Structures are given as structure tokens and as C-alpha cells.
Structure 1
Amino acid sequence: MTPLLPALHHVAIICSDYARSKAFYSEVLGLRIVHEVYREARDSWKLDLEISPGVQVELFSFPNPPPRPTRPEAQGLRHLAFAVPDVEAVVAELNRRGVSTEPIRVDEYTGKRFTFFADPDGLPLEVYEVASTK
């Protein structure tokens, strides 16, 4: 059966400090800024960042958003995972850029390596190895 929803277009994230999160996603993680707009009626910024062709993160600011109730098992989005060819190399570069990461683990079902780190608001982000030269 052909999937009804064949591809992911974007993931939307509401941040507490727009400038800090914009710098993290665009400068630290290197996501390309596609479009940025201030929506005056909502007192809100919206930033579209490209992960890969056709896949984006939408970053929003809103006045006084409530914090995430718990981590990571709160109802709703648990984490956002990025596919990478070499987890070790990405972890080394994240650490070089001042981003703390958890130890690299191996998925017990797929045998793939992965680890977690957090965005400026503590949103769990994952790097998951989809191909390896090792």
C-alpha cells in the first residue's frame, strides 16, 4: 500500500528566546534560513530553516509560551531526530561548537548508533546514524 503521507515537510518548534534559538539552529547546527517573517498581529516571529531539500524546521516565538511539562516523556513531541552518516563525527563537531551530548548508544533493534543533545529550551534532539563507513 502506498503511504497516505509519503514525506515529512516540517517540524514546528516554539522557543522561549527567539534570537538564542535562531542562532542555535542556524549557526551552531548549520540549518539554512529559508524565510523569516515577523507576524505583528501575533507578536510572533516565524523562521523556516532547511534541514534537507523539502524538509524544514519552523521556529516560532510567542509571548510567554508555557514550558514543557516534563522531559522526555511529556505528551506530544518526544524528540526530533536528524539522520547523519557518522554519529561520532557529528558528536565531535557539536562538542567543538559547545553543545553537550549524551554518550553514544546503539539501538538494540536496528544496531544503529545514536545520541541525544538539547536545543536552548531543552527540547531533546537526536542524531541517528543511517549509514556508516565503519
Structure 2
Amino acid sequence: MRFNKIHHIAIICSDYQKSKQFYVEILGLEIVKESFRKERLSYKLDLALNGEYIIELFSFPDPPQRPSRPEALGLRHLAFEVDDIEESILALKNKEVVTETVRIDELTNKKFTFFSDPDGLPIEIYEK
């Protein structure tokens, strides 16, 4: 077996409209397709970055909570590469998104920081 690439990341949110606004208006992801699945009372929003399909955002009635801090068991975080971390932090701040203090990756010497989506999912920005 040979994998070609990661096809997508699926995220279940607690407040669909709030999360849709965050991923589209704050992070700037592009809507590929939005569907309401009546039988499941669920939205599915397909999102792209620079034309490449990357995230499926789902809503379900009363989804169970899951630990999501970076050191919790399971998927650690979602990371986006940026050209300029300070510029990206300022853009997030201007949209009222709080980021953690910038850190330096001890293995690559690159700058990175974290912020959270509306449900507390850790999101990283990592300088190219």
C-alpha cells in the first residue's frame, strides 16, 4: 500500500455557525460545499486552503466532549504553515483571536504558536 497524501481532516463542532464563521472568516478557508443532512440533523462543510480540500466541518446534535489540549491522548493539533508568524499573529489579533507566546522549535529552530478554535481545538501556526 502507498498513500498519496492526507485527504482531509474531520472536525466536529458544537456550534456550527460559530465554527463556520471562524474557519471561513477568521482563518480564510474557502467553502467547497455545504450540505445539511436532514436525517442526521447535521451540517457538513467542506473547506479548502489555496484550492486544496483539507477540512470537513461537521455538526451533530449533542456531540460528546473530548479532551483536546495538545498533550491529550489522540490527535494532537491542526497546524498551518505561514510565511511570517508575527504578521499572522497580528492578523489573528485583529480578529480578536488570542495566541500563545511564540516558541522556537528546538529541532528546526522555527517559530510557532498556538490558538484555539471555538471548541478549544488547538491550532498551530508554524513559520516556514
Q: What TM-score comes out, normalization by structure 2 length? A: 0.94
Q: Distance in 2 between matches of 1:9 and 1:87?
A: 26
Q: Distance in 2 between matches of 1:81 and 1:4?
A: 23
Tell me the residue number matched to 1:51.
49
Gaps of 5+ in 1: none
> How many Å apart are 1:71 and its aligned residue?
1.9
Tell me the residue number matched to 1:90.
88
Tell me the residue number matched to 1:64.
62
Tell me the residue number matched to 2:28.
30
Residue of structure 1 aligned with 2:114, choices 100, 113, 116: 116
Q: Distance in 2 between matches of 1:93 and 1:62?
A: 30
> How many Å apart are 1:70 and its aligned residue?
5.1
Q: What TM-score comes out, normalization by structure 1 length? A: 0.90
The amino acid of 1:5's aligned partner reads F
The amino acid of 1:118's aligned partner reads S
> How many Å apart are 1:54 and its aligned residue?
2.5
The amino acid of 2:34's aligned partner reads E
Identity of counterpart residues, as a percentage? 57
Conserved? CA contact 2:112–2:124, under 8 Å: yes
Q: Distance in 2 between matches of 1:54 and 1:92?
A: 25
Conserved? CA contact 1:117–1:125, under 8 Å: yes
Q: 1:8 to 1:55 in 2, by over 3 A?
A: farther
Q: Distance in 1 between matches of 2:35 and 2:74?
A: 26
Gaps of 5+ in 2: none
Q: Distance in 1 between matches of 2:50 and 2:7?
A: 10
The amino acid of 2:108's aligned partner reads T
> How many Å apart are 1:97 and its aligned residue?
0.8
Q: Distance in 2 between matches of 1:46 and 1:71?
A: 24
Conserved? CA contact 1:8–1:55, under 8 Å: no
Tell me the residue number matched to 1:12.
10
